[in-house]
Amino acid sequence: MRDRAPRWWQTAVVYQVYPRSFADSDGDGTGDLNGISGRLDYLAWLGVDAIWISPFYPSPMADFGYDVADYTDVDPLFGTLADFDRLVAAAHERNIRVLVDYVPNHTSDQHPWFVESRASRDNPKADWYVWRDPKPDGGLPNNWISMFAGPTWTWDETRAQYYLHIFLAEQPDLNWRNPEVRDAMFDVARFWLDRGVDGFRIDVAPMVMKDPELRDNPPNPDPGWEHSRLGSWLTQLHVNDHNHPDMHELYRSFRSMLESYPGDRVSIGELHHPDFDRWAEYYGERQDEIHVPFNFHVINSPWTADGVRRAVEGVEGVLPAGAWASWVLGNHDQPRIASAERAGRDQARVAMMLLLTLRGTPTLYYGDEIGMVDVPVAVADSRDPLERLEAGRGRDPERSPMPWDDSPNAGFCPPGVSPWLPIAPDFADVNVAGQAVDPGSLLTLTRDLLQLRREHPILRLGDFEPFGPTPDGVLAFRRIGRSGGQLDVLLNLTAEPRAARGSGAGRVVIGTQRERDGEPVGADVELRPNEGLVVEVGR
């Protein structure tokens, strides 16, 4: 990439909107597309360059939209296609790109394709899903386990066969080895590209192609990622249901299709892989597959300087020359970064500084800019089916409604309406309106860091260089400008003071606690508890 102008998605900051939880425009307690449109001025003020909207397609909502019953429409809960078109136009007017979720691995069991497929063994869509007879002994076709717990196979009485579902039984897997499925799903992407979307976040990108013989997975001797929520799923090595080599040809074709459109459309893939090398394969040998594979290495690390360093250096170490990293600290599937089980409230600012100063495209989960924490939901009140399948894995806590202000229902939905999930109990203190006017807030820090990225080509495009050994609990790296200039990022991931050593004397450009902004510092820098500093060296 050195020889060409950066693409928009390399210098962009993406903001993930979970539409149910962002803003409710019609007073039914659930967020919607017009709610997002109504908050675009906020997003422009914040300074993000793109939004990725989680699914808003017609769906029975067994998995809150990740069970799609019609890929080319909008669920009435969220609005209409006309609302979507207005949202895209309004976002583009504000220079905000729009990415939508592309859910290729599975549909809803209510999708007309599946309804037809399950009706008989010889209908035109009979082979659009993965159907198998029981083993001769009557057992399940193989040993695969669902990411949502339990076997991946459900028996269908009519066909007297099992169908495959890597997730819920209500989410049958499509058979991408059938060219008709592939054509139909590429048409789905074209439908949204024609409507002007700037790209896709590809749901569970590495699962779409399976071993053609559906062979058993071997046990996993070394599960790793014990900090992830993947639970029992980590007990197998997912060699046959995941990361099949045929994925690569598929993403090459998908990318060619994207690039046949004007305007630099982008693919961002949801890729969970603890092995750095295997993960990096999704860039493609010629960097002709997924433009920006999400990496979840930091999300799945303990929040310690060593853990985060291993994740960051692991990713940086395997990036093919010229490939572009992505960084994510939160999403709708993970406990929030400011929650105690992740970095915690005191470290939320350090985490934001990390996210916005690493080399690569950051994706910010809605609400993390104000330090939202998980909102516990009792099992009896839980909405996420995962909680009922495996207690403790539910994702409701990180999906609570965005607190916009301190009015009843936090400005998310009108007073008196029941929001789909409880509003955070701390919304009177943690809300957008209050933090927007507070120079010491996390929101102001986030906005200022975003502005710094825009002003500093070093932060957007400069090289990354880790520091050698650093004191316990300190994470430090350099960003180096292609045409000179250097920024040191010094982060104290502990609650005690730490002595750090930067590259040389300079000036604090921005500090997490703000009172050190502008302070001249020497090469030896005393970091206060939970403090991060960006130092411009030589100034």
Question: Which residues here bind ligand GLC, judged by CB under 6 A?
Answer: 63, 66, 103, 167, 203-204, 270, 332-333
Question: Residues 309, 310, 316, CA angle at the centre, nearest 5°?
Answer: 85
CA distance 78 to 321: 41
The nearer residue to ligand GLC, 232 or 503, going by C-beta atoms, is: 232
Task: Please tell me whether residue 534 adopts helix, strand or coil conformation.
Answer: strand
Contacts 24+ apart (CB under 8 A), 439-444: 439/514, 440/514, 441/370, 442/348, 442/349, 442/352, 442/369, 442/370, 442/371, 443/46, 443/369, 443/370
The nearer residue to ligand GLC, 271 or 312, going by C-beta atoms, is: 271
**In the complex, minimum distance from the CB of residue 433 to ligand GLC, in angstroms, rounded to a whole number:** 29
Sheet holding 153-156, edge to edge: 131-132, 161-164, 153-156
**Is position 222 annotated as part of the catalytic site?**
no
**In the complex, minimum distance from the CB of residue 384 to ligand GLC, in angstroms, rounded to a whole number:** 9
**In the complex, minimum distance from the CB of residue 269 to ligand GLC, in angstroms, rounded to a whole number:** 11
The nearer residue to ligand GLC, 101 or 281, going by C-beta atoms, is: 101
**In the complex, minimum distance from the CB of residue 395 to ligand GLC, in angstroms, rounded to a whole number:** 7
Q: Name the active-site residue from 24, 49, 203, 281.
A: 203
**CB-count burial class (<10 Å; 0-12, 13-18, 19+) for 496:** exposed
Whether the CB-CB separation of 296 and 308 falls below 8 Å is answered with no
**In the complex, minimum distance from the CB of residue 455 to ligand GLC, in angstroms, rounded to a whole number:** 33
Q: Report CA Rg, the chain.
A: 23
The nearer residue to ligand GLC, 66 or 71, going by C-beta atoms, is: 66
The nearer residue to ligand GLC, 188 or 350, going by C-beta atoms, is: 188
**In the complex, minimum distance from the CB of residue 63 to ligand GLC, in angstroms, rounded to a whole number:** 5
Q: Name the active-site residue from 173, 270, 368, 398.
A: 270
CA distance 88 to 98: 6
CA distance 366 to 398: 10
Q: Which residues of 220-242 are buried (b: 16+ CB within 10 A; e: fewer)?
A: eeebebebbbbbebbebebebbb
**In the complex, minimum distance from the CB of residue 259 to ligand GLC, in angstroms, rounded to a whole number:** 25
The nearer residue to ligand GLC, 63 or 83, going by C-beta atoms, is: 63
The residue whose Cβ lies closest to ligand GLC is 66
CA distance 347 to 344: 5
Whether the CB-CB separation of 129 and 212 falls below 8 Å is answered with no
- How do strand 153-156 and strand 161-164 relate by DSSP bridges? antiparallel
The nearer residue to ligand GLC, 103 or 247, going by C-beta atoms, is: 103
CA distance 527 to 511: 10
- How do strand 97-102 and strand 50-53 relate by DSSP bridges? parallel
Task: Please tell me whether residue 317 adopts helix, strand or coil conformation.
Answer: helix
**Is position 203 annotated as part of the catalytic site?**
yes
Catalytically active residues, by annotation? 203, 270
